[in-house]
Amino acid sequence: MNPFKHIKHPGIALRNFLNDRYLPPLSKLEVMANARGVSLQNGKSQTKPAANHLRIAPGPKTTATYERLKNILREMSIPFFVGNLSDPWALSISVKETDRPIVTNIFKNWFENDPDVMYTLPGPISAFQASKLIQIAAKGKLLAFNVLCIEKKHGEGKNGTFASGQITINFWRKMNNFSEEPIFETGVYNPYVCRLRGHSFDSLTAESSDLTGASGHLSTEHDFPIDVVYTWVNDRDENWQAERASYSGKVVLTDRANHDERFRNRDELRYSMRSIEMFAPFVRNIYLVTNGQIPEWLNLDNPRLKLVPHSEIYKTKSDLPTFNSSSIETQLHHVEGLAEHFLYFNDDVFLGDFCTPDDFFLSNGLMKFFPSPQRAYEPDIDDSREGYLVADRNAINLMKGSRGRHSRFIMEHTPLPALRSLLTSLEEEFPDAWATCSANRFRASTDLRPIAFMQYQFAFLQKQAVPASITNRYLALWKPTIEGQLKNVLTSRQYKTFCLNDVGVPPERTNAVDDLVQNFLQRYFPFKSSFER
């Protein structure tokens, strides 16, 4: 008797079962390396702090600690230079490996009694105090460690959440080589230099030079502004409910995309904005696009926040009001003052860890996109399929007709990088399809998804975008295992982005799921942002 005969795809079912319950483990090699203080250069960030220490941009505590440490090194005549990590918010100090005992003892003698200064090795391990740092350094294999300077705290000890700026101490090791002149090598990846001849190293340390400035303006540095655009609706607003009901009576609402779950508001926007302030210091402005609604907690005096009503961006005013996110997508590039490079956020999408511009755009301006394993296979998509697939089919057909080639990438549920000029050019090339979608007050079979799907297919073909990856978790709130999944995401904090999708939550579980989500968001993002009153 086959116990799996009633399961259509038993292998897939088993995979999904395991993914719901267990986190992917660290490789044995990475665990061994962390235990020995060795920094693996595996292409991932080597500056991630301990799980309950959230890396944020340096604040007053980090800056003061950094300056004090440099002054102590000068007083003790320890040669050093600064500025050799991978992003502008990563402070660092580089010294020779032979000075490691003195440097680590500086932290024990000068900083041990400071409760807001902790230490960690590269990799997802717990923070520790200066005494343990001395023990690790004594083993003779420590190539780097991070100084965590607590800027904000919520709770205490192991149950606390700490927002910490970070200083990386980097020990340059003398290599074994056949050159008469010594060559020093860093143990931490950086975009500037990984090996230095002895006289170059001495030249940098003689003046405590900043390697970033000494390197000039590199083409690997991002020098363009990046904005964020949100779309948001308050489904609990009685006026909005009445208006939607009056228009929905004219339309047959059979598609799941038109159900109430698409508009449910759990105050996610507040926490999503907190995630941007914590983890994306590169963001210039946030544009909040609404039908005129304003969250009661929103700080309208924040100069980085721009409130944009639909009426300001719609070319055809008679298309309003709209209750169709695809329609709204056709108009977002009309936002006045919006940067060429921007990120489109739904309010159920969050940053979960520190991000840099390079996570979303190449420094030459090319856009990244994050394809999932799924594809929009248009021969299998008719008008009875889900609204997003129908919209993607329509975009593919436009691409076939205009380019003769096409792609079918469906994106992960992440922040969506976008190019304003590309969206403008697509609107100009396909004015009828654009106008039709704009006029659809509710999801319809003539929709497009200009940002979430269409732009990436054209941009990839036109050499304006490249496929990439980002650590991401899609959390389907309807799943019976969602409580455990939320706990794992909160505990590990290993994803740069995550999405809380409430499609399909049974009515009888709505209140319980609301409580789970609220508790999760409050614990993940406990620090009030400047976008709140």
Give yes or no for a contact between 242 and 291, defined as CB atoms under 8 angstroms apart. Answer: no
* Integer-rounded Cα radius of gyration of the chain: 26
Mean pLDDT lowest among 131-140, 247-256, 396-405: 247-256
Tens of pLDDT, residues 439-462: 999 999 999 999 999 999 999 999
What mean pLDDT is reported for the chain?
Answer: 88
Structure confidence at residue 33 (pLDDT):
42
Instruction: Quickly state the pLDDT bin for 422 (edges 50, 70, 90).
Output: very high
pLDDT: is 528 or 216 the higher one?
Answer: 528
Percent of the chain with pLDDT over 70: 86
Tens of pLDDT, residues 311-328: 999 999 999 999 999 999
Mean pLDDT lowest among 47-51, 218-222, 255-259: 255-259
The separation between CA 394 and the C-alpha centre of its own chain, rounded to angstroms, equals: 29
Structure confidence at residue 359 (pLDDT):
98
Rounded to whole angstroms, the Cα distance separating 142 from 136 reads: 7
May I ask the CATH class of domain 226-262+281-470? alpha beta
Rounded to whole angstroms, the Cα distance separating 445 from 394 reads: 8
The domains of the chain are located at 37-214, 226-262+281-470
Burial status of residue 391 (CB atoms within 10 A of its CB: 0-12, 13-18, 19 or more): buried
Q: Which helix (H) or strand (E) holds 211?
A: helix 211-214
DSSP for residue 507? G
Tens of pLDDT, residues 482-494: 999 999 999 999 9
pLDDT: is 45 or 308 the higher one?
Answer: 308
Per-residue pLDDT, averaged over 35-48, amounts to 41
Structure confidence at residue 122 (pLDDT):
72
Percent of the chain with pLDDT over 90: 70
Mean pLDDT lowest among 30-44, 71-85, 345-359, 369-383: 30-44
Structure confidence at residue 159 (pLDDT):
79
pLDDT: is 321 or 141 the higher one?
Answer: 321
Per-residue pLDDT, averaged over 234-247, amounts to 88
What does the block give as tokens for 530?
């400047």
> What does 39-98 look like in DSSP terms, one character per residue?
PP-SSS-S----TTEEE----HHHHHHHHHHHHHHHHTT---EE--SSSTT-EEEEEEGG
Give yes or no for a contact between 226 and 418, defined as CB atoms under 8 angstroms apart. Answer: no
Tens of pLDDT, residues 157-205: 777 899 999 999 999 999 987 778 899 999 888 888 899 999 999 999 9
What pairing do the DSSP bridges indicate for beta strands 195-197 and 226-231? unpaired
In sequence order, the 6+-apart residues with CB closer than 8 A to the CB of 78 are 95, 99, 102, 103
